[in-house]
Amino acid sequence: METDHQFTYKHNDKTLIKTVDTTNLCTVIKGFGGNGLEVTCRSSMVEVYGKRHAEPVRDDRYTITESMI
């Protein structure tokens, strides 16, 4: 759809607003691997968005923390 409308800063429009849906954003996730391995990963954005937990990951193929991360 073309509107043939040009947006010129401080001329014909005062502000443009963009919204972003963060419903599916997760900042904390737990992973469970083989041999009782349990790893929790926290995003650096947890301070901004708070703790939003994702569904845990379960995969017995991983037995080393670094590999699971």
CA distance 24 to 41: 17
Task: Locate 20 and state its tokens.
Answer: 């972003």
Residue from 51, 13, 6, 7 nearest 29 by CA = 51
Tens of pLDDT, residue by residue over 9-62, are: 666 666 678 898 989 999 999 999 999 999 999 999 999 999 999 999 999 999
In a domain, 18, yes or no: no
Measured distance CA(29)–CA(26) in Å, rounded = 7
Whether the predicted model's global pTM rises above the 0.75 cut: no
Residue 21: inside a domain: no
Q: CA 13, CA 62: separation in Å to the nearest integer?
A: 54
Structure tokens at 54: 């994702």
Asked if residue 8 is part of any domain, the answer here is: no
Does any domain span residue 45? yes
User: Would you state the pLDDT for residue 4?
Assistant: 73
